Amino acid sequence: MFSKVFFLALIPAIMAANHAVSVGANNALAFSPTTITAAVGDTITFTVVSRNHSITSARFSGAVCPPPPGGFGTNGFDSGFLSDLDGSMPTFTYTVVDTQPHFGACMQANGAHCRAGMTFAINPNSTQTYAQFLANAEAS
């Protein structure tokens, strides 16, 4: 009995996936990949590999850039500023807790990185696409 309950409790941990996202690869103002499709319980690990950036949830439209300190929206997120200027490659991990689309950007330089396209989407859908979010960010 105990072992069966224990085994069932382990299943979500076994099924959960981790998704790796590179932040600032090749010194670019970019997340890679820009779209992450993840299930509830999955983790997304962002690794800052150049400069000094943030991983912050943003509005889909309107005043997208810069995203607000603390992050936008229900189940939002904000890594704060993470610097690789010392070569430490800091990481930030977000655990997916719902199936809604979440949009993110870097808040560095009062939104200049965000407006330059430093953006990403978690679980975008057919009405809130990554391409439209990127256009909204560049125009904000």
Coil/strand/helix, residue 131: helix
- Per CB under 6 A, 99 contacts ligand NAG: no
b/e 109-135 (16+ beta carbons within 10 angstroms → b): bebebbbbbbbbbbbbeeebebeebbe
**Does the footprint of ligand NAG cover residue 132 (CB under 6 A)?**
no
Stretch that binds ligand NAG, among 17-25, 78-86, 89-97, 129-137 (CB under 6 A): 78-86
Distance CA 29, CA 98 (A): 28
Q: Based on the shown chain and the rule CB under 6 A, indicate whether residue 52 belongs to the binding site for ligand NAG.
A: yes
Of the candidate spans 3-11, 18-26, 64-72, 122-130, the one that interacts with ligand NAG by CB under 6 A turns out to be 122-130
- Closer residue to ligand NAG (CB): 5 or 85: 85
Q: At 6, which helix (H) or strand (E)?
A: helix 2-15
Stretch of 12-20, 89-97, 113-121, 123-131 lying at the interface with ligand NAG (CB under 6 A): 123-131
